[in-house]
Amino acid sequence: MAANNIPPFLTGLDEKTQLHEATRRSANYHPSIWGDFFLSFSSPQMDKNTKDLQEDHEQLKQKVRNMLVEDPHISLRKLELINNVQRLGVSYHFEKEVRAILQKTFEVNDDLNAKDIEADDLHAISLRFRLLRQEAYYASTGPFEYFLESDGKFKESMINNVDAMLSLYEASHVRVHGEKILDEALIFTTTHLQTLFTNPKVSEALEQPICKRLARIDARKYISIYQLDESHDAVLLEFAKLDFNLLQRQHQKELGSLTRWWKELDAAEKLPFARDRMVECYLWTLGVYFEPQYGFARDFFLKIISLTSILDDIYDVYGTLEELRLFTNAFQRLYESNANELPEYMKIVYTAFVDAYAEMDKKLVATGESYRINYAKIEMKKLVDAYYEEAKWLYVDGSPTYDQYMRVALQTGAHLMLATTSLVGMQEEFVTKETFDWLSQDPLIVRASAIIGRLKDDIAGHKFEQERGHVDSAVECYIRQYGKSEEEAVRELEEQVTNAWKDINQECLKPTATFPMPILIRVVNLARVIDLVYDADGDSYTHSSKLKSIITSILVDPVL
């Protein structure tokens, strides 16, 4: 580039940086595969009068509740009922009843006869352990010692019992640090279950264990599985189907309204360099909370995460360093007037952020909860600062060490911002100022979720990102700092992901009145979304055709 053609704001930068500044990059993202599909969508299965459906729903719900409370005896049958209620996606209706059963199960944990569960029933022992751990009870690993040989290895005689092996496999995924018996259980069960991969239940479990699945997606799959089980309960199945379809209708209406908002923003036309993934962001939002009472929270969360996706692409792909400096400064005080200093494409995004925060602030004033918006804004400012820090590495040929990279990249993964934003619209008494103060300290559960998000994202997408001139990922930085091969680096980073899940499991055993499970589970769900989106097949958010069948199953097709 000739010196006299250099834009004024580039003077003072070295020649390589000037070339970066003057050349817009493109990642060639594919357009939205959904477009305006959900604008006027309604499920054909929902043509029946909604009031009649809700009356049927209430009657069936009471019958299922009676099933849970009618027999106080803790048996394998009762544990399997709880498991089915949870897997079918309807446990949010029966939290009190399920909690009472598991509380009793925990209290008599050492008295196996009181629960009608034999000490040598590996399926029952494993199921009880997982259900208790998932409900924040610190169940002991002691009962698993019964299934060890004298040399400390698991008994080979168990390998032909598929249900027992699957239950032990699932139980091993809720382990915490130091539980070597469950580390061994995971290796043992995985090794033997891989020989049964043609079994649908086995292949599904090996692909993703229950504790990492998104409830709504798992419910859709499990309804089909449960229906084929000859021992299924017809009332429970009918209730699960009706509940799924009623809730799907609510989600469709929400998505229709949000599609109108997105269409008015006109991101596809005005911001063609960015990923147009609003529908995929709604899937992300449902992963955080799908329950009917959280529609208000979903609306705000969806808007912020969709805009943040564009923000990420501005910093990663399109913006010049000087534009990014102006953009970063504007976010320090989110005022509409600051947009005047920005390029036109940045004005669109910046104004949308300002409007989204202002709209939510106005809604929260009436309940005295507008303080929540300030916490959300603070985390957004931190995120933007980190985006800018990361962008500068590209322009100045930065080659950070792994430690330097992670210091910034754990912030650019946006988990703390998203966790904070997810609570803003939750109209629950347990969401307080103390909750947001706790989150702002980046507690271990949030940091662990951020590690999972960053490392799985980088492992899945680092080759594609290097092809388009992205800054080095965790993989490249790890190789550089520790002198590892790519294969070794990926394996060791995956071990960090495993340890982060143990941190999450550990923290979920410590709920308090101030930070109860309904708060902790939002952070867990953010990690679960990551586990779905970034897998062995790559980045399913960027290359979103991979998510089409999932979105269709939970947002388009009713359960028949």
Q: Is residue 365 exposed (0-12), middle (13-18) or buried (19+ Cβ within 10 Å)?
A: exposed
Q: How far apart are CA 474 and CA 413, in angstroms?
A: 12
**Tens of pLDDT, residues 82-114:** 999 999 999 999 999 999 999 999 987 655 444
Where is average pLDDT lowest: 4-8, 71-75, 234-238, 272-276?
Answer: 4-8
Taking alpha carbons only, the member of 252, 219, 211, 243 closest to residue 521 is 211
Q: What is the mean pLDDT of the chain?
A: 90
Q: How far apart are CA 169 and CA 155, in angstroms?
A: 14
Which residues contact residue 499 at a Cβ distance below 8 angstroms, ignoring those fewer than 6 apart?
Answer: 177
**Assigned token pair, 185:** 């259980």
pLDDT tops 50 at residue 6: no
CA 419 and chain centroid, separation: 10
pLDDT tops 90 at residue 472: no
pLDDT at 325: 96
pLDDT tops 80 at residue 397: no
Question: Under the phi-then-psi rule, with left for phi > 0, alpha for psi from -120 to 50, and beta for the rest, what region is 557?
Answer: beta
pLDDT at 459: 92
Where is average pLDDT lowest: 26-40, 126-140, 247-261?
Answer: 26-40
pLDDT tops 80 at residue 46: no
Q: How far apart are CA 432 and CA 514, in angstroms?
A: 8
pLDDT tops 90 at residue 509: yes
Per DSSP bridges, beta strands 534-535 and 538-539 are antiparallel
Q: Are 295 and 254 in contact (CB under 8 A)?
A: yes
> What's 19-53 look like in SS3?
HHHHCCCCCCCCCCCCCCCCCCCCCHHHCCCHHHH
**Assigned token pair, 351:** 């104004």
pLDDT tops 90 at residue 432: yes
Indicate if 266-555 has the same CATH topology as 70-239.
Answer: no
The helix/strand/coil state of 148 is: strand
Q: Is residue 131 exposed (0-12), middle (13-18) or buried (19+ Cβ within 10 Å)?
A: buried
Q: 38-47, 227-236, 466-475: which has the highest mean pLDDT?
A: 227-236
Q: What is the mean pLDDT of residues 368-379?
A: 97
pLDDT tops 80 at residue 262: yes
**Tens of pLDDT, residues 444-460:** 999 999 999 999 999 98
DSSP-assigned letter for residue 443: -
Q: How far apart are CA 486 and CA 36, in angstroms?
A: 41
pLDDT at 428: 92
Where is average pLDDT lowest: 19-33, 199-213, 234-248, 282-296?
Answer: 19-33
At residue 455, what is the residue type? L
pLDDT band at 512 (very low <50, low <70, confident <90, very high): confident
Q: Please tell me the pTM assigned to this model.
A: 0.92
How do the domains of the chain map onto residue ranges?
70-239, 266-555
Q: Are 179 and 171 in contact (CB under 8 A)?
A: no
At residue 291, what is the residue type? E
pLDDT tops 50 at residue 125: yes
Q: How far apart are CA 532 and CA 534, in angstroms?
A: 6
Domain 70-239 annotated CATH 1.50.10.130: yes
Question: Under the phi-then-psi rule, with left for phi > 0, alpha for psi from -120 to 50, and beta for the rest, what region is 368?
Answer: left
pLDDT tops 80 at residue 557: yes
pLDDT tops 70 at residue 279: yes
Q: What is the mean pLDDT of residues 45-64?
A: 83
- Helix count and strand count (H, E) for the chain: 24, 2
pLDDT tops 70 at residue 526: yes
pLDDT at 123: 97
pLDDT band at 120 (very low <50, low <70, confident <90, very high): confident
User: Class assignment of domain 266-555?
Assistant: mainly alpha
pLDDT tops 60 at residue 15: no
pLDDT at 17: 46
pLDDT tops 50 at residue 306: yes
pLDDT at 116: 58
Where is average pLDDT lowest: 217-221, 463-467, 554-558?
Answer: 463-467
pLDDT band at 268 (very low <50, low <70, confident <90, very high): very high
Question: Under the phi-then-psi rule, with left for phi > 0, alpha for psi from -120 to 50, and beta for the rest, what region is 17?
Answer: alpha
